[in-house]
Chains A and B, each alone.
Chain A
Amino acid sequence: MQSQVPFISDILKCDSLSIVGLQKNTGKTECLKYVLQRLPLHEKRVAVTSIGIDGESTDQVTLTQKPEIVLRQGMYFGTSEAHYRQRRLVSELIDVSDESTSLGRVVTARALTQGKILLSGPSSTQGLRRWMRDMRRHDIDLVIIDGALSRLSLASPAVSQSMILATGAAYSINMSQLVQRTAFVVDLINIGVTSQDNIGKLAPLESGLWWIDTDGNLHEMPAATSLSQQVQFEGMEQCATLYVAGALVDSFLEKVRKNKQLRQVELVVRDFTKIFVTPQQLRLFQKTGGCLRVLQRSKLIAVTVNPTSPSGYVLDSAALCDKLSQAINLPVYDLLKDKTKEL
């Protein structure tokens, strides 16, 4: 049994999981269904929600319905008032939050029978965090978040402890390109964590550019963000760690790379969702001895693939899993294929 449900045991070690798709139709919903069907509910109290409707509004543009999720008896779920009224199961309301979305407030309920529900949870990351905090009051062991399309930010370790990444032919129908692009995202997710000492100093800093000298003293840089054109690195000969509290972009990374006194510097960002650099720039930076670290890291539990593109083009599932697995050094699953095998 265990071999058929690969990463479930890893999920059970976490208190929160985001499921994120790199593109629409990469099988995110399939993955969510797969996980929900296999969680041992007698062991854990599980709550599931989605990040708002806004991220999924393209569904309404393309007129494809947002998929209904089948919940099992005993599962908790957070959805909007409007979707709650459309539920196709018997459920018990346990909370109505002040969190408002375009579809009404977010309500939390427990499924008393199995059945279908449309998920549309809090519409902001802060709202989601508040909802997750409330879930702790109801003794929920594990929160699962159905991530919105290309909204990697909610897979931030600041929101959820772990994540599953869904990729596939919809992201690119060129297999090697698909592998490369997915591998880059995985590399970012897996960037190592900086020292405890640095975390203690840098975690409270919400904005700006900061550096720590070789004696461990913290300094603020005059330029406000890494986006500004006039970043000055003067008087930073003793710089050991450079911290970008906001977004890390190509132009800044290039400036750091080209500055001789910053050759051996450790560049730190909050987490992988703050990195907006191209693979080329990152590779150049690392080649010249640069080192990139994060304050907080998400545990990447698995990568799933959907070899079928929306246009109907199908990649060789086994070859794709193999190639990607080699590139990222992690097991890769085609859940649809595995499911047919199971049956």
Chain B
Amino acid sequence: MLKNVIESPCGLRFMLDGLDLQSGFARRWLLEMNMMTSASEIEASHDVTKRFVGFVRTIDRTHLTTLLFRLQGVKDIRTTIKNLRQQSTLDDIELFEVKHLAILSTQVAQLLAEHGMGDAARIPDLNDVITILDPDGLKMASFYIYDSYCAELQQLRKLMREQPQQQEELLVEAAEIEETVRRDLTLKLHSHVDAIESALVALATVDINLARARQVVEMQLCIPSISADGSSHYTAMFHPQVKAALARRGKAFQPVDIAFDTSPTLITGANMGGKTVVLKTITLCQLLFQFGFGVPASEACIAIKDEIYFCIGDEQSIERGLSSFAAEMKNIDAVIKASRTDRKILALIDEPARTTNPTEGTALVQALLKVLSSRHMSLVMTTHYDIEPGSAHCLRVKGFADGSMDYSLVEVAGGEVPHEALTIAHSLGIDHEWLDLARKELENSISEKTC
């Protein structure tokens, strides 16, 4: 469910917080959504999103405002629907809720139909429900046990107004009749319970689709296509949260192109080269794609996965009392175990074994790559260690040139890691005494090796 991955360090929460949903029910409904893993389901969902993107681009302000205002009125009446399904007599408040929903859904359906969106929204027709709860045809979203339900009731209420001193007894008498009417209404409504439930879901879905579509337009996202061959391609991919943070400081985000398939991809590159951001963005895009959202890239063709693993190195699991190393090992262990199944897996592993000594770290990473290379899965991994890439596809951050960082990824033949740490530290204005000594140490160790 979406609510289980919302806190993923990839930045999904930022995207969901930015969604302008109109009702609390729509938000709850969205969070309870399961990740889609079938191509037909994802395609259908994306087709609807595309329709809504076209809709929000063309609809005029006034109509959009009216539509959003209507959607704000959607309430979570699932308990009422459950009672109705069980045929337990609905009280006035519950009957009001059903009527309110019926009128609202009719209004929203009409507004959408006027803009050719009727088939995209698929709101069931609840006019029969309205007729049951609106015997006088007033078309008002208010409710009580109307006089016209029963002539006797009408008579009693007339008496109440004429002889207020007898009201108490008359109310008791009326209450019995009212209860019979409620029972009758409940039974009549019961045959429409499926339509009522679908209407509630359809309204929440319209709300979600509208919010998604507006996010696509505002954040300049794309609706990705589905890859058939297991490979994923992104053109001008960006991370919306990082982009927004940079924009606040007056800086621009440099979009990145990347492609990967079911053989491993190894990303090397200088510190501060945006490697982690690349992994975050891929994770984010994959999740957004499979939950039916637009994806932050100018173009994207994405392969569907059953499971997505994002292992970010410095994640300490304080709750479980694990050190950063232990937490990381456990996370990667889960990837290896999952890779033994026949499920389609995408794993994004950021600098594995970075917190341990380089000798053992290198060995661990080298072995991990070998293990995962033999499996049919998508893996994108970053590292600073010098390892033998084998069959892995190698990418490298262009890096530091002419005093600025070029974040674009270039293909390289081997897995050789760049040695730019000292240059970058220097550009950060780090203490000279330290860096000069480090440079000497480095030179010594190189000359020792060559001797």
Residues in chain A within 8 A of chain B (CB atoms) = 73, 81, 84-85, 88-94, 96, 98, 107, 109-110, 112-115
Quick one: closest A residue to B140, CB to CB? Answer: A94
User: In the complex, which of the residues B93, B164, B167 contacts A93, with contact meaning CB atoms closer than 8 Å?
Assistant: B93
User: In the complex, which of the residues B93, B100, B144 contacts A90, with contact meaning CB atoms closer than 8 Å?
Assistant: B144
Which residues from chain A contact B97 at a C-beta distance below 8 Å? 96
B142 near A96 (CB under 8 angstroms)? no
Known: A81-B93, A96-B93, A98-B75. A88 touches B168 (CB 8 A): yes
- Of residues 150 through 173 on chain B, the ones whose CB sits less than 8 Å from some CB of chain A are 157, 160-161, 164, 167-168, 171
Contacts A88-B167, A90-B171, A98-B24 known; 13 new A-B pairs at CB < 8 A: A84-B93, A85-B91, A85-B93, A89-B167, A89-B171, A90-B160, A93-B142, A94-B141, A96-B75, A96-B100, A107-B93, A112-B157, A113-B160
Known: A90-B174, A96-B75. A113 touches B96 (CB 8 A): no
User: In the complex, which of the residues B75, B142, B143, B167 contacts A115, with contact meaning CB atoms closer than 8 Å?
Assistant: B167
Secondary structure dominating the interface of A:
strand
Which residues from chain A contact B174 at a C-beta distance below 8 Å? 90
User: In the complex, which of the residues A93, A112, A115 contacts B92, with contact meaning CB atoms closer than 8 Å?
Assistant: A93
Q: Give Cα distance in the complex from A317 to B356, angstroms.
A: 86
Can you list 21 residue pairs at the A/B interface with Cβ under 8 Å?
A: A73-B161, A81-B93, A84-B93, A88-B167, A88-B168, A89-B171, A90-B157, A90-B160, A90-B174, A92-B143, A92-B144, A93-B92, A93-B93, A93-B96, A96-B75, A96-B93, A96-B96, A112-B144, A113-B157, A113-B164, A115-B167
Known: A73-B161, A90-B174, A92-B143. A113 touches B167 (CB 8 A): yes
Across the A-B interface, the 3 shortest Cβ-Cβ residue pairs: A92-B144, A93-B96, A94-B142
Number of interface residues of B (CB under 8 A): 20
Q: Give Cα distance in the complex from A93 to B103, angstroms.
A: 15
Which residues from chain A contact B164 at a C-beta distance below 8 Å? 113-114
Quick one: closest A residue to B174, CB to CB? Answer: A90
- B66-98 vs A: 1/0 string, CB under 8 Å? 000000000100000000000000011100110
Q: Give Cα distance in the complex from A91 to B168, angstroms.
A: 15
B144 near A91 (CB under 8 angstroms)? yes
Residues in chain B within 8 A of chain A (CB atoms) = 24, 75, 91-93, 96-97, 100, 141-144, 157, 160-161, 164, 167-168, 171, 174
CB distance from B141 to the nearest CB of A (A): 8
Q: Which of A90, A94, A109, A114 is packed against the most chain B CB atoms within 10 Å?
A: A90
Which residues from chain A contact B92 at a C-beta distance below 8 Å? 84, 93
B157 near A93 (CB under 8 angstroms)? no
Q: Give Cα distance in the complex from A73 to B161, angstroms.
A: 9
B91 near A110 (CB under 8 angstroms)? no
A93 near B143 (CB under 8 angstroms)? yes
Which residues from chain A contact B142 at a C-beta distance below 8 Å? 92-94, 110
Quick one: closest A residue to B24, CB to CB? Answer: A98
Q: Give Cα distance in the complex from A90 to B168, angstroms.
A: 11
Which residues from chain B contact A85 at a C-beta distance below 8 Å? 91, 93
Q: Which of B141, B142, B157, B161 is packed against the most chain A CB atoms within 10 Å?
A: B142
Q: Give Cα distance in the complex from A93 to B161, angstroms.
A: 19
Q: Give Cα distance in the complex from A109 to B144, angstroms.
A: 9
CB distance from B308 to the nearest CB of A (A): 34
Quick one: closest A residue to B158, CB to CB? Answer: A113
User: In the complex, which of the residues A81, A109, A115 contacts B171, with contact meaning CB atoms closer than 8 Å?
Assistant: A115
Q: Which of A81, A91, A92, A115 is packed against the most chain B CB atoms within 10 Å?
A: A92
Which residues from chain A contact B160 at a C-beta distance below 8 Å? 90, 113
CB distance from A85 to the nearest CB of B (A): 7
Q: Give Cα distance in the complex from A107 to B75, angstroms.
A: 13
Which residues from chain B contact A92 at a C-beta distance below 8 Å? 142-144
Q: Give Cα distance in the complex from A73 to B164, angstroms.
A: 11
Q: Give Cα distance in the complex from A85 to B412, angstroms.
A: 74
Which residues from chain B contact A110 at a C-beta distance below 8 Å? 142
Which residues from chain B contact A113 at a C-beta distance below 8 Å? 157, 160-161, 164, 167
Q: Give Cα distance in the complex from A81 to B93, angstroms.
A: 8
Which residues from chain B contact A93 at a C-beta distance below 8 Å? 92-93, 96, 142-144
Which residues from chain A contact B157 at a C-beta distance below 8 Å? 90, 112-113
CB distance from A110 to the nearest CB of B (A): 7
Which residues from chain A contact B143 at a C-beta distance below 8 Å? 92-93
A88 near B171 (CB under 8 angstroms)? yes
Which residues from chain A contact B161 at a C-beta distance below 8 Å? 73, 113
Q: Give Cα distance in the complex from A67 to B96, angstroms.
A: 27
Which residues from chain A contact B96 at a C-beta distance below 8 Å? 93, 96
Q: Give Cα distance in the complex from A207 to B142, angstroms.
A: 42
Which residues from chain B contact A90 at a C-beta distance below 8 Å? 144, 157, 160, 171, 174
